C-alpha cells in the first residue's frame, strides 16, 4: 500500500461540535466489537472528560461527545490504554461494519475476522474523492445492510444434492425463499434452479435427511450503495467470490479505481454511474 | 419404511416461533436418548425455523411429512 501516505492514516476521528472548543471523539470500532474492559474505559472517559454519556453511531461505532479540545491528547492516551483508537472522518475508508457472523444461527462466514483483516489493511486510508464505507453481513438476510455500503460483502454458500439420501419430503422446497427447488414426490425427482439460488443455506440447514450439503462458502459483493441526501442501493457485482484474499484484492483495486477515476467530492456510486460499471469490473478482476 | 412409533406427541399448530421450538426442546429434554418425539407444526415460518433448530441441537429428523397446511416431524433425541 505504498501509494498511500501512512502518516495520514491515523488522522481523523475528531468532530467539532456547535459549542466552542467542544469535540465529539469518534472511535475505531471494528464490526461492533467492544470488549468489557473497553466499555469500562469508555464509561470512565465519558464521566471524566465528557458529560457522562456516549453516542452509539449507525455504523456500530462509539462517539464520546463534549470533549474539550485541550483534553483531547489526554483522552486519546487513556483510551489507548484499553486498546481504543481514534476513528475516521472525511474522505477516508471508514469503520468496517459486521454482523455476528457464525455466532448467529444464520451466519455463513466469520464476519468479524474478515472485518478485522479489512480494517487492518485499509482503515483510515484517505486521498479518495469521498468517504468509503465497507460492511459485511453473514448471510443473505443482510442484517448489516451491505447494499447501503460503498462496498458490501455478503456471506453465502454453495451446495450439492445427494440423491441417495433424499426422501423427497419437500421440506427444502418449502423453506427456500426464492423457489429455487422443486420436488416431485410422485416421481422422486428434484429440480434445482441454480440461477435463482441466493446461497442462504436454508435448505442445507433444514433438510431432515442431509441430502443438501454445503460444498463451499464464499462472498457476494455489492458496490455503490450509499445513503445521505441521494440514497442508492448497491449493485451486486460478484455473485460468488471464493476467498478472503480475493476480497481483499478487490477492495484494494476498488480503492485505486475510485482514486484514479473519481472526481473530488463524488461518492463511489456516482463514479461508477459516470464511468460505467463494466469499466470498474474490468479494473478489479 | 415401517411406521415409527413416537414416544411422545406435541401438536404445535398455531404456536408461533420460537415458542414452538422451545416447547419441542423442553419435551426432548424430558426424553431419553434415542426416543422419538412427533411434532406437528404449521407451514410458513415454523417450517423455516424449527427443523434447522432441531438439527442444530444435534437431534435427528427421521421423517418430515406435509399434511395440508402443516408438517409432521419425527425427531429422534440425540
Q: Interface pTM (ipTM) of the complex?
A: 0.90
Contacts of B73 in chain A (CB under 8 A): 208
Number of Cβ within 10 Å of residue A52's Cβ equals: 9
pLDDT at position A140 over 50? yes
Q: Cell 460468488 identifies what position?
A: A240
Domain spans of chain A, in order of start: 6-81, 97-155+218-284, 158-216
Cβ contact A178:A198 at 8 Å: yes
Q: What is the pLDDT of residue A218?
A: 98
In angstroms, the CA A184 to CA A160 distance is 18
- Please name the residue ranges forming H helices in chain A: 36-49, 72-81, 111-122, 171-175, 202-206, 244-261, 268-275, 277-284
pLDDT one-digit tens code per residue, A27-79: 999 999 999 999 999 999 999 999 999 999 999 999 999 999 889 999 999 99
Q: Cell 439420501 identifies what position?
A: A165
Best residue of A139, A166, A169 to probe chain B, by most B CBs closer than 10 Å: A169
Residue A181, classed as helix, strand or coil, is strand
pLDDT at position A6 over 60? no
Tell me whether the CATH fold assigned to A97-155+218-284 matches the one assigned to A158-216: no
Beta carbons within 8 Å of A239's beta carbon, 6+ residues apart: A220
Best residue of A170, A206, A209 to probe chain B, by most B CBs closer than 10 Å: A206
Beta carbons within 8 Å of A64's beta carbon, 6+ residues apart: A24, A25, A27, A42, A45, A46, A49, A50, A54, A55, A75
Q: What is the pLDDT of residue A61?
A: 96
Would the CB atoms of B64 and A208 count as touching at under 8 Å? yes
Would the CB atoms of B63 and A208 count as touching at under 8 Å? yes
- Please give the class, per CATH, of domain A97-155+218-284: alpha beta
Contacts of B56 in chain A (CB under 8 A): 105, 205
pLDDT one-digit tens code per residue, A148-158: 999 999 999 99
Q: What is the pLDDT of residue A15?
A: 86
In angstroms, the CA A139 to CA A218 distance is 10
Distances (CA, A) of A153 to A86, A250, B68: 24, 11, 39
pTM of the complete model:
0.91
What element of type H or E holds B23? helix B19-30
Residue of A nearest to B74 (CA): A208
What element of type H or E holds B45? helix B45-56
Residues of B carrying an active site annotation: 17
Q: What is the pLDDT of residue A11?
A: 60
Contacts of B52 in chain A (CB under 8 A): 105, 202, 205-206
CA distance, residue A209 to nearest chain B CA (Å)? 7
In angstroms, the CA A157 to CA A65 distance is 42
Region A232-247 average pLDDT: 97
Query: For chain B, which domains are there?
Result: 8-76 (3.30.110.40)
Handedness of CA A132, A133, A138, A140 (dihedral sign): negative
Residue A67, classed as helix, strand or coil, is strand
Q: What is the gyration radius of the CA atoms in chain B, in angstroms? A: 11
In angstroms, the CA A260 to CA A241 distance is 24
pLDDT one-digit tens code per residue, A250-285: 999 999 999 999 999 999 999 999 999 999 999 999
In angstroms, the CA A171 to CA A158 distance is 18
Cβ neighbourhood burial of B78 (10 Å; 0-12, 13-18, 19+): exposed
**Residue A267 CA from chain centroid, whole number:** 17
In angstroms, the CA B55 to CA B76 distance is 10
Region B16-40 average pLDDT: 96
Contacts of A171 in chain B (CB under 8 A): 47, 51, 64, 66, 71
A6-81 CATH choice from 1.10.730.10, 3.30.70.3340, 1.20.1050.10, 1.10.340.30: 3.30.70.3340
In angstroms, the CA A259 to CA A256 distance is 5
- CA angle (A77, A122, A274) in 5-degree steps: 130
Cβ contacts below 8 Å, chain A against chain B, sum to: 42
Q: What is the pLDDT of residue A89?
A: 85
Return the CATH architecture of domain A158-216: 2-Layer Sandwich (3.30)
Cβ contact A139:A212 at 8 Å: no
Q: What is the pLDDT of residue A1?
A: 36
Q: How far apart are the first and last CA of chain B?
A: 21
Amino acid at each position: 500500500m505504498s501509494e498511500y501516505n501512512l502518516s495520514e492514516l491515523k488522522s481523523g476521528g475528531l468532530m467539532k461540535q456547535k459549542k466552542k472548543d467542544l469535540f465529539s471523539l469518534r472511535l475505531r470500532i471494528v464490526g461492533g466489537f467492544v470488549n468489557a474492559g473497553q466499555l469500562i474505559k469508555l464509561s470512565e472517559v465519558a464521566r471524566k472528560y465528557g458529560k457522562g454519556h456516549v453516542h452509539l453511531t449507525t455504523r456500530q461505532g462509539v462517539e464520546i461527545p463534549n470533549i474539550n479540545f485541550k483534553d483531547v491528547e489526554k483522552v486519546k492516551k487513556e483510551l489507548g490504554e484499553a486498546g481504543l483508537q481514534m476513528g475516521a472522518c472525511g474522505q477516508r475508508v471508514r469503520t468496517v461494519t459486521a454482523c455476528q457472523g457464525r455466532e448467529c444461527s444464520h451466519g455463513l462466514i466469520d464476519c468479524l475476522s474478515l472485518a478485522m483483516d479489512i480494517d487492518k489493511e485499509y482503515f483510515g486510508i484517505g486521498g479518495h474523492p469521498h468517504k468509503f464505507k465497507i460492511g459485511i453481513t453473514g448471510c443473505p438476510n443482510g442484517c448489516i445492510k451491505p447494499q447501503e455500503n460503498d462496498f458490501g460483502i455478503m456471506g453465502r454458500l454453495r451446495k450439492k444434492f445427494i440423491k441417495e439420501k433424499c426422501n423427497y419430503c419437500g421440506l427444502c422446497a418449502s423453506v427456500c425463499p426464492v423457489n429455487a427447488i422443486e420436488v416431485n414426490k410422485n416421481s422422486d425427482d428434484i429440480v434445482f434452479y441454480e440461477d435463482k439460488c441466493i446461497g442462504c443455506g436454508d435448505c442445507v440447514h433444514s433438510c431432515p435427511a442431509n441430502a443438501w450439503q454445503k460444498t463451499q462458502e464464499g462472498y457476494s459483493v455489492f458496490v455503490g450503495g450509499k445513503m445521505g441526501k441521494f440514497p442508492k442501493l448497491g449493485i451486486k457485482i460478484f455473485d460468488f467470490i471464493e476467498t478472503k484474499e480475493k476480497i481483499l484484492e478487490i477492495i484494494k483495486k476498488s480503492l485505486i479505481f475510485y482514486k484514479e477515476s473519481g472526481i473530488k467530492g463524488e461518492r463511489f456510486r456516482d463514479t461508477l454511474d459516470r464511468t460505467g460499471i463494466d469499466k470498474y469490473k474490468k479494473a478489479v478482476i | 419404511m415401517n411406521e415409527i412409533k413416537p414416544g411422545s406427541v406435541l401438536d404445535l399448530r398455531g404456536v408461533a416461533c420460537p415458542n414452538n421450538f422451545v416447547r419441542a426442546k423442553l419435551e426432548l429434554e424430558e426424553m431419553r436418548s434415542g426416543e422419538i418425539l412427533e411434532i406437528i407444526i404449521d407451514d410458513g415460518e415454523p417450517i423455516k425455523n424449527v427443523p434447522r433448530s432441531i438439527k442444530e441441537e444435534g437431534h435427528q429428523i427421521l421423517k418430515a411429512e406435509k399434511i395440508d397446511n402443516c408438517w409432521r416431524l419425527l425427531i429422534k433425541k440425540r
